[in-house]
Chain A
């Protein structure tokens, strides 16, 4: 792991062309990286170079160009595998994190779940780790249960332990909440699941981009994340699976690439991980993701985490100064990421987002695809500011000034 404890934000920002643009005449203050991250030059250049220099279909042609395209595609897999400490045959490229979770829900869940079996999720899941299980439960007669969230915005681990029973077949839990910022003890949860004979899946969409994640150390069976939140392009996500578990599973999607042999009598499947990659994959996107993984590895996930811990602390302190504000999630920066949800009295999150946009500040407003959690929090929507490795403390000051100004625009006291 990197020894650098800090990030040189100014130097690093120069890698992100978009960060130098202006919005409404103001410098862009991008605080919505939990929705999607911006892309550094090496990612943009890798994708551009792929199309300019080596575009060909992968795993097919015998000619040089096809061999180069295949090499770049598979190099990307190695870069991702190295970032999360996975064996390369356990790294399956998907469209996004949602598809990665759907892959498990369909390829494992539909075949393995029986009526009365339980899938345990939590109240702080993104819809992408709820809805696939609900669909599969509808088909199989299994039941989806929700481990509760404490008033402080953390997982109620005692309740979760109590809900893990002999009927539990899968525990699917988010590593870092996209709303609360909460970092969950997923290694402990994966161990508890294993003790009960259940599989575990960790939604790492908000953790792999922001902190060191070692899938072997976590001990989970599946890890799902998406490319575009970790400096990569849209259209590519990752399912990391334990190879022995993936090996026992049937394919998810059928088609080209994923077969070993096809005959009119039936077909046999390709080796891991290609068994789960039907059709021509998003090659340029994979190449872009590989460049993103290398970029993150070079900066150092530990340094990213250290920076974001500071940003979270700064944001929590600065936001707390805004009169009437409610901040959701843990107050201890050590227990959370730098995605901070908040609300203001008499100023709806949409209006907050619209008003601060005038100052060039991008924040998200809405239910953040986590409606069950919104219900627990007793709100319909929140505003959310989320920082990443390229954000500076100055930008938080801009946000807070914009919030004061928004309150004045609405006649706030």
Chain B
């Protein structure tokens, strides 16, 4: 299938087939659900936050290769980060998806492979789903009296 090589890179398909961070936590600090009403993709994301850091992260969901691979890459990119750093990485990823910032591999890790998705406007939402869930989870956590940090 010529022409789609940047969309369906081997790294993306690898994350799709072997999702990192998939599952549930025993005692999540915060859990959120996000879905894409246009296509029905869903993610359930749980964070275990310790001393202002994302110590653990787990996700389950259903969706296309892009949304699922992206959630897998997101779990690697955000685990271990402080919640402020994580929010900044999410924002960087969002801007990259909209073609407004060049991808920073140090912050994104494997998720840099998703840069090509920006060329397929209808798939950007797929790629963003997990990351928006992460932002929602962190902001929910902050809104529960854990703000600022």
Which A residues are within 8 Å of any B CB, using their own CB?
24, 346, 348-351, 354-355, 358-359, 365-367, 371, 374, 380-381, 405-406, 409-411
Which segment, of B25-33, B39-47, B137-145, faces chain A? Answer: B39-47
Which residues of A are found within 8 Å of B66, using beta-carbon distances? Answer: 350-351
B40 touches A358 (CB 8 A): no
Expressed in whole angstroms, the minimum distance between the Cβ of A413 and any Cβ of chain B is 13
Stretch at the interface among B2-10, B76-84, B102-110: B2-10
A350 touches B39 (CB 8 A): yes
B98 within 8 A of A: no
Q: Is the CB of A350 within 8 A of B123?
A: yes
Bound-state Cα–Cα, A24 to B1, Å: 11
Q: Which of B2, B38, B65 contacts A348 (CB 8 A)?
A: B65
Sort chain B's interface into a size bin. Answer: 20 to 34
Known contacts: A351-B65, A380-B62. The answer to whether A371 contacts B40 by CB under 8 A is yes
In the complex, chain A residues whose CB is within 8 Å of the CB of B64: 348-351
Contacts A374-B40, A410-B13 given; does A405 touch B123 at CB 8 Å: no
How far is the CB of B148 from the nearest CB of chain A, in Å? Answer: 37
Alpha-carbon separation in the docked complex, A355 to B40 (Å): 19
Residues of B within 8 A of A409 (CB): 1, 4, 8
Give 30 pairs: A residue, B residue, CB < 8 Å, sorted on A: A24-B3, A346-B17, A348-B63, A348-B64, A348-B65, A348-B68, A350-B63, A350-B64, A350-B123, A351-B8, A351-B64, A351-B66, A354-B120, A355-B4, A355-B8, A358-B2, A358-B3, A359-B1, A365-B39, A366-B38, A366-B39, A366-B40, A374-B40, A381-B40, A381-B41, A409-B1, A409-B4, A410-B65, A411-B13, A411-B17
Distance of A366 Cα from B7 Cα, bound (Å)? 19
Residues of the B chain whose Cβ atoms lie less than 8 Å from the Cβ of A405: 1
Q: Which of B3, B39, B63, B123 has the most CB of A within 10 A?
A: B39
Closest B residue to A405 by beta carbon equals B1
